[in-house]
Each structure stands twice: as structure tokens, then as C-alpha cells.
């Protein structure tokens, strides 16, 4: 059985175009993913997504919409963050990258969920510790290991990127 397959990715001036038999495309895709071209394409896609989120927040602010809850809920929905740990990771990214909040104690994260009309995570420390164990979050040494200062690692961002649908 010789199924034809095609993968076409355009990110600015970077183009990845693979076509042919499924097994051939799979093999070439594995090689491309090890190449700098793949990293550049993902970086450009990630940057475009971040600019889109910033533009959405700015547009909501300019339109006088209830920014915080609706913007966070849009992030959760657009990125298909269904599982609570993924939502907590998204909340930390949102607070740090969109709102510029570096200190996010449990009450701030719970309030963000409530503003979005979502059920708060409950035992937040459990989620944060598990996300740290998986390598998705770290706390800076200056924060004395307090979860309220957690930041996403590159692996945490990659995990959210995998959850997102483009």
C-alpha cells in the first residue's frame, strides 16, 4: 500500500515542502526536524502566535471588553487546553507574558480562572509541583523555591505549543 502524503509549512521565507509516499515523507520529516530550518519555522510560528495574542489583548482593551477573563478564556479555547494542568501552565504563561505579572500566588491564579468563567484548579500546589517535576516550570533561585514565582521552561512552552492548533 503506497499512500501519498504531503506536508507544506510556510513561515515567512522558510518553506518546508515534503511530498511522496507516506514512509518517505515520514523519514524526510524526521531529518527536517533535526535541522535548523525546523527550529526557525517553529520559532516564527510561535512569534506569530504571541503577536496575535498581544493584538487580541490590545483590541479587547481598545474595545473596552472585559480584558482579563475573556482574553485568558480565548487563550484556553484557542490552544485547546482541556486538561487542568495544561490550563494552569497556560495561566502562568498568560500572567507572565500578557499581564507582566511575576508574582502569581494561588489567589491570583484562582481569580484568573474565575474571571474567565472557568473552575479554579483547586489544589494549585499539587499542579505546580507536578509541572515542575515534568520540567515545564522552574522557580528562579532568588525566589527561594516559592511556586508563586514559577516561570515556564522552554519545555513548558513547547508543551503548550504542541497542545495548540494552528
- For residue 89, is it within any domain? yes
Same domain, 34 and 90: no
CA torsion, points 126, 151, 68, 104, in degrees to nearest 10?
A: 60
- For residue 111, is it within any domain? yes
Range of the domain at 108: 66-163
Grid cell 515545564 in the structure block, residue: 136
Residue 73: which residues within 8 A CB-CB, separation 6 or more? 116, 117, 118
Per-10-residue mean pLDDT for the chain, 166 residues long? 81 87 90 86 83 73 66 84 92 87 88 91 90 92 80 90 66
Phi, psi angle pair for 105, to nearest 5°: -65, 165
Under a CB-based contact definition with an 8 Å cutoff, are residues 152 and 92 in contact?
A: yes
Under a CB-based contact definition with an 8 Å cutoff, are residues 38 and 32 in contact?
A: yes
Amino acid at each position: 500500500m503506497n499512500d501519498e502524503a504531503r506536508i507544506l509549512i510556510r513561515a515567512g521565507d522558510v518553506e518546508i515542502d515534503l511530498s511522496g509516499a507516506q514512509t518517505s515523507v515520514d523519514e524526510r520529516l524526521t531529518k527536517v526536524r533535526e535541522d535548523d530550518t525546523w527550529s526557525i519555522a517553529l520559532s516564527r510560528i510561535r512569534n506569530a502566535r504571541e503577536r496575535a495574542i498581544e493584538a487580541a489583548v490590545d483590541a479587547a482593551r481598545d474595545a473596552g471588553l472585559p480584558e482579563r477573563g475573556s482574553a485568558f478564556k480565548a487563550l484556553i479555547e484557542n490552544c485547546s487546553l482541556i486538561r487542568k494542568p495544561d490550563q494552569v501552565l497556560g495561566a502562568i504563561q498568560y500572567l507572565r507574558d500578557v499581564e507582566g505579572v511575576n508574582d502569581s500566588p494561588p489567589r491570583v491564579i484562582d481569580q484568573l480562572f474565575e474571571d474567565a468563567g472557568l473552575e479554579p484548579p483547586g489544589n494549585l500546589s499539587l499542579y505546580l509541583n507536578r509541572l515542575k517535576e515534568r520540567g515545564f516550570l522552574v522557580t528562579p533561585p532568588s525566589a527561594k523555591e516559592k511556586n508563586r514565582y514559577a516561570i515556564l521552561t522552554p519545555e513548558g512552552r513547547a508543551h503548550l505549543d504542541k497542545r495548540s492548533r494552528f
